[in-house]
Structure 1
Amino acid sequence: MSPDATWSIGELAERAGVTVKAVRFYSDRGLLPEAGRSGGGHRRYGPEALDRLRLIRSLRTLDVPVPDVGRVLERDDALEDVVAGRLREIGSQLTALRWRDAALRLLQDCTPAERAERLGLIGAVSTPPSTAALASFWRRWLPPRLPARLVSAIVEEAVPQPPDDPTPAQVLAFARLHAFTSGPCTGEDRDRGQPEVHRPGKDYRPAVLYDGLREAFALAAPDLRALRPPHPGEALDCFVSAHARARGVRDTAAFRRRLGVQLAAEPRIDHYWELVAELTSPPSGPPEPTPGAAHDWLCAALDASAPSAARS
Structure 2
Amino acid sequence: MDDDVRYSIGDLARRTGLTVKSIRFYADEGLVPPTDRTPAGYRRFGVDALARLDLVRTLRELGLDLATIRRVLDREAPLHDVAAAHADALDVQIRTLRLRRTVLRAVAQRGSTPEEMRFMHKLAQLSDAERRRLVHDFVDDVFGGLDANPEFVAMMRSAMPELPDEPAAEQVEAWVELGELVQDGEFRASVRRMAEHQAAERAAGDTTGLHHALTEAVRERVGAALASAVPPRSPAADAVVDGLTARYAATFGRPDDAELRRWLLRRLEAADDPRAERYWRLLAVVNGWPVPASLTEVFAWFTEALRARVAP
1:279 — aligned with what? 286
Higher CA-based Rg: 2
2:11 — aligned with what? 11
Aligned CA-pair RMSD: 5.0
Count of paired positions: 231
Opposite residue 11 of structure 1, the aligned amino acid is D
Query: In 2 relative to 1, CA 87–257 (structure 1 residues): closer, same or farther, beyond 3 Å?
Result: farther
Runs (4+) off by over 6 Å:
188-191, 263-268
Q: In structure 1, what is the Cα distance between the partners aligned to 2:164 and 2:193?
A: 26
1:52-97 CA-partner distances (Å, limit 9, x unpaired): 1121122223233222212221227532222223323333333344
Opposite residue 168 of structure 2, the aligned amino acid is P
**How far apart are 1:14 and its partner, in Å?**
2.4
Mapped contact 2:103–2:121 kept (Cα < 8 A)? no
Opposite residue 5 of structure 1, the aligned amino acid is V
**Percent identical residues:** 28
**What TM-score does the superposition give when structure 1 sets the normalisation length?**
0.53
Residue 126 of structure 1 aligns to a residue whose secondary structure is helix
Match of 1:136 among 108, 133, 137: 133
Residue 39 of structure 1 aligns to a residue whose secondary structure is coil
Residue 158 of structure 1 aligns to a residue whose secondary structure is coil
1:125 aligns with 2:127: no
Opposite residue 180 of structure 1, the aligned amino acid is L
Q: In structure 2, what is the Cα distance between the partners aligned to 1:93 and 1:21?
A: 30
**What TM-score does the superposition give when structure 2 sets the normalisation length?**
0.53
Q: In structure 1, what is the Cα distance between the partners aligned to 2:163 and 2:72?
A: 34
Residue 41 of structure 1 aligns to a residue whose secondary structure is coil
Q: In structure 2, what is the Cα distance between the partners aligned to 1:20 and 1:72?
A: 23
1:173 — aligned with what? 174
Residues 1-312 of structure 1 correspond to what in structure 2 (within 5 A)? 1-75=1-75, 78-106=78-106, 114-116=110-112, 121-126=116-121, 129-132=124-127, 133-140=130-137, 141-142=139-140, 158-161=160-163, 164-167=166-169, 169-182=170-183, 192=192, 195=195, 271-281=278-288, 286-287=290-291
Unaligned runs of 5+ in 1: 146-153, 200-212, 231-255, 289-312
Residue 124 of structure 1 aligns to a residue whose secondary structure is helix
Query: In 2 relative to 1, CA 159–116 (structure 1 residues): closer, same or farther, beyond 3 Å?
Result: closer
Unaligned runs of 5+ in 2: 146-155, 200-208, 218-251, 255-263, 293-312
Mapped contact 1:99–1:171 kept (Cα < 8 A)? yes
